[in-house]
Structure 1
Amino acid sequence: MGELAPVRPYGQPEYRWLLPAVLRDEADAPPGPRSTRDWLIDILCFMLSLGWTLLATADLLSPVPTVLPQWSSSPDWLIATDLTIGIAFSVALWWRRRWPVHLGIGVLIFGTMSITITVVALISLFSVAVHRRFAVNGVVTVGAMLMNAAFCVIRPEHGTPIVESLAWSLAIVSIVQLWGMIVRARRELVVSLRDRVERAEAEQQLRVAQARALERTRIAREMHDVLAHRISLLSLHAGALEIRPDAPPTEVANAAGVIRASAHQALQDLREVIGVLREPAAEALPERPQPTLSELPALADESRAAGVKVCLLLGVDRPEDTPSGIGRTAYRIVQEGLTNARKHAPGTVVRVSVSGAAGEGLTVDIRNPAPVGRPPSVIPGTGTGLIGLTERATLAGGTLTHGHDSQGDFVLAAWLPWPD
């Protein structure tokens, strides 16, 4: 007699010494609470088994049996015993999901002499095939064949050869087992597909979070040099006032005005840095100062040199007067839009429109038709550029949308606030 197995996590003790080693299947997950469907199926199985038990017993006791005439000569004590076995195992069906192998072993033992246990035996074999692995299922199947052979010897059918009875038993058991294995395989496939979907969603969320974090870090790096420039101006003018305390009042007032304006702009840039920098930057060196709206024509020329047909419409009177943060964001949006057009719609004309003014906001519209007769480029990419642009526009207080319009053109549109 072996040792008592430790209690399972869900609180069910497993007495391993009750089963041979090959029948222990501790890897299978325990059943959870019964669903409405499980209750309906269990009630149906119980009613079928109990109904068959009562029907078979009544037919065996009948003077003229109609359902089981081949066993009409059974003694009364055997019929009473058969009735008790059938009722007991019908009740035991309520625990067939938790202990399918235990129920199967009981069926193998008492099925060698019981007729009323037939329905329970079929349900038990099906439960083992569904809830246990193939090795356990194979052992129980072999046991079912031996049980049928013993039953044919102990309680033979009148007028039917033993070989024929065994052939029918083998066919029925095989059908039940194959049906159970198909159900188990389907359930495992559904669980596998569900796990894949959950992993794919989790990975996508992780990629989105990483893209947002990288974009915020990039913005903070871009602001690094600008903020340093503002502070250096403060230091320069403050040093000039310190060196020349007797300067004319006009020069002092001008220097003080420059210091005030630079300090105000530095504070604004610092607020933007604090707003986007959520975690320490990587150890890589900061990127160099960033372009703004005034360098959009140079960006368009660079794209044209790379083979992109660009039509740029810059509807801003003085691009150099655009606030640096808004200008950088608009430049990056146009840059990403041109890159996407070069990758996914080669040979098409990309129309870029940038317009706006102080107090109205800055509008960026990039659109290109779908490519005709030319395959997309194989330029590699991470697939998160638009996610980063959306994060950048949101942090700037604006909006960004992308997708196909009613005419089939791909449109990347953004609006950025431009204070007075």
Structure 2
Amino acid sequence: MTRTDRQRWLFPSHLVEPGGSGAPRPRRTVRDWIVDTTLFLLAAFFGLLVVDGSAPYTSETVAFVDQLLGAAACCALWLRRRWPVGLAVGLSLVSVVEPVAAGALLASLFSVAVRRPFREVAWIGGLATAASVAQVFVRPDPTVNVGLGLAIGFVLILLVTAWGMLVRSRRLLVEALRERARRAEAEAGLRAEQAQRLAREAIAREMHDVLAHRLTLLSVHAGALEFRPDAPPEQVARAAGVIRDSAHEALQDLREIIGVLRAPDDGDGGHRPQPTLATLGALIDESREAGADVVLDTTVDDPAAVPAATGRTVYRIAQEALTNARKHAPGTTVTVTVRGRPGEGLTVDVHNPAPAGPVPHVPGSGQGLIGLTERAALAGGRLEHGSAPGGGFSLHAWLPWPP
């Protein structure tokens, strides 16, 4: 049995009248047939008891008419799913003169209580009670006291109506819980997709920030070897060493990024420390060894006191700015200025003048500055970049530094 079949077995009945909303009438399930057959048999059994009890006090003709009308009332119960209100009203009127239809009336009241709102259930229940009172005087039972007959009719109608309303409330609760579960499942799927998207963006940003710096060094020095085949052996050896070191560092950084994607128990735990503000000097020295003219101006006396996340963001900003300057303004002096103290935040300014001569074309997507802006925003800061007033390019960033 599939999940859909189980749901149809457990919750086959609609909570409203099928014809009321214009929707197609649902087909009876196995459970519906079992319930309808059980109600039919109970109503027929109740009618037989009434006929048997009143047989000594009625003529054969009246008894025959009672049996026909009682059978018709029981058969009419097969229509209770299509017209529950109309059936209950009709059986209420018939029960005034036919006590045999009392069982069918109780079954129809149960259907109304299950399918219709309280306002309709209340007035139909009142009509059934009035019919029960009238029936006691129109077709009295000689073996039952009038007061007792009124009490029995009222109690039976009240119990059946209350039972039907309880079933309706339970079905509404189950349906609400199922809808809440479906909504929670959908929201969980959306949250998982959003988390995956954010993780992919973070990985892409980290790969760009880490590898772009190394690969730019490879491109610049490989281009120098290509355009200067007659360079002195010392310069060729130096450029080849930079290419070798940059390629090695790029591979190490790539291993670190791949290690982040692995499960915690897949690796051996040997990861290199993440860059912080304390390692900014090493980045500047590396750029100088590669031939760049970089000036570092910082007033932060204790870089280790800067929060690791903030220091790492400063490092990535300076790294991307130096990479862009090396690609688009080679031979210029790049000035990196870091200012700040706890409670006021950190400011990072990177400036380079316009290059004097033609600049070799180095391909770039422009995604690095976009990634830096997003990184600064995620850290609670801001980043601005653009052409400097006196020419060249400048970058300004502010990052929070809690007191």
TM bucket normalised to smaller? 0.5 to 0.7
Contact 1:25–1:133 (Cα < 8 Å) also in 2? no
2:63 to 57, 75, 79: 79
Letter in 1 for 2:35: I
TM-score if structure 2 supplies the norm length? 0.52
Tell me which moved more, 238-247 or 105-114. Answer: 238-247
Indicate the SS of the match to 2:99.
coil
Structure 1 121/268 Cα, relative in aligned 2: closer, same or farther at 3 Å? farther
Match of 2:166 in 1: 182
* Superposition deviation, residue 211 in structure 1: 1.7
* Superposition deviation, residue 138 in structure 1: 0.6
Cα distance between partner residues in 1 of 2:22 and 2:177: 18
Match of 1:293 in 2: 272
Match of 2:40 in 1: 46
Structure 1 188/55 Cα, relative in aligned 2: closer, same or farther at 3 Å? same
Cα distance between partner residues in 1 of 2:254 and 2:273: 23
Cα distance between partner residues in 2 of 1:95 and 1:304: 81
Cα distance between partner residues in 1 of 2:179 and 2:221: 63
Indicate the SS of the match to 1:246.
coil
Structure number with higher helix proportion:
2
> 1:17-416, aligned counterparts within 5 Å?
26=20, 32-54=26-48, 56-57=50-51, 59=52, 67-68=53-54, 72-158=56-142, 160=144, 162-241=146-225, 243-248=227-232, 252=236, 255=239, 293-295=272-274
Letter in 1 for 2:30: T
Letter in 1 for 2:272: L
Cα distance between partner residues in 1 of 2:277 and 2:226: 42
Letter in 1 for 2:130: L
Cα distance between partner residues in 2 of 1:233 and 1:136: 81
Cα distance between partner residues in 1 of 2:234 and 2:305: 50
* Superposition deviation, residue 236 in structure 1: 1.7
Cα distance between partner residues in 1 of 2:94 and 2:304: 84
* Superposition deviation, residue 206 in structure 1: 2.3
Indicate the SS of the match to 2:57.
coil
Deviations 1:204-237 (A, max 9, x none): 2322222222111111111122232134213321
Structure 1 220/31 Cα, relative in aligned 2: closer, same or farther at 3 Å? same
Structure 1 296/115 Cα, relative in aligned 2: closer, same or farther at 3 Å? same
Structure 1 169/269 Cα, relative in aligned 2: closer, same or farther at 3 Å? same
TM-score if structure 1 supplies the norm length? 0.51
Letter in 2 for 1:237: H
Structure 1 253/95 Cα, relative in aligned 2: closer, same or farther at 3 Å? farther
* Superposition deviation, residue 160 in structure 1: 4.6
Structure 1 262/304 Cα, relative in aligned 2: closer, same or farther at 3 Å? closer
* Superposition deviation, residue 303 in structure 1: 12
Contact 1:28–1:131 (Cα < 8 Å) also in 2? no
Cα distance between partner residues in 2 of 1:295 and 1:267: 15
Contact 2:256–2:272 (Cα < 8 Å) also in 1? no
Cα distance between partner residues in 2 of 1:233 and 1:24: 74
Indicate the SS of the match to 1:116.
helix
Structure 1 230/303 Cα, relative in aligned 2: closer, same or farther at 3 Å? closer
* Superposition deviation, residue 260 in structure 1: 8.3
Contact 1:130–1:184 (Cα < 8 Å) also in 2? yes
Structure 1 176/30 Cα, relative in aligned 2: closer, same or farther at 3 Å? farther
* Superposition deviation, residue 120 in structure 1: 0.7
Structure 1 30/177 Cα, relative in aligned 2: closer, same or farther at 3 Å? farther
Contact 1:231–1:263 (Cα < 8 Å) also in 2? yes
Contact 2:19–2:82 (Cα < 8 Å) also in 1? no
Indicate the SS of the match to 1:157.
coil
Structure 1 28/193 Cα, relative in aligned 2: closer, same or farther at 3 Å? farther
Cα distance between partner residues in 2 of 1:169 and 1:229: 90
CA RMSD of aligned residues (A): 4.3
Cα distance between partner residues in 1 of 2:273 and 2:130: 89
Cα distance between partner residues in 2 of 1:233 and 1:170: 94
Match of 1:317 in 2: none
**Which entry has the higher C-alpha Rg, 1 or 2?**
2
Indicate the SS of the match to 1:97.
coil
* Superposition deviation, residue 181 in structure 1: 1.2
Structure 1 230/26 Cα, relative in aligned 2: closer, same or farther at 3 Å? same
Indicate the SS of the match to 1:294.
coil
Letter in 2 for 1:81: V
Aligned length in residues: 258
Indicate the SS of the match to 2:210.
helix
* Superposition deviation, residue 118 in structure 1: 1.5
* Superposition deviation, residue 259 in structure 1: 5.4
* Superposition deviation, residue 254 in structure 1: 6.8
Indicate the SS of the match to 1:98.
coil
* Superposition deviation, residue 109 in structure 1: 2.2
Cα distance between partner residues in 1 of 2:304 and 2:117: 61
Structure 1 44/156 Cα, relative in aligned 2: closer, same or farther at 3 Å? same
Match of 2:371 in 1: none
Contact 2:18–2:26 (Cα < 8 Å) also in 1? no
Deviations 1:19-46 (A, max 9, x none): xxxx999479987444433322222222
Cα distance between partner residues in 1 of 2:67 and 2:181: 50
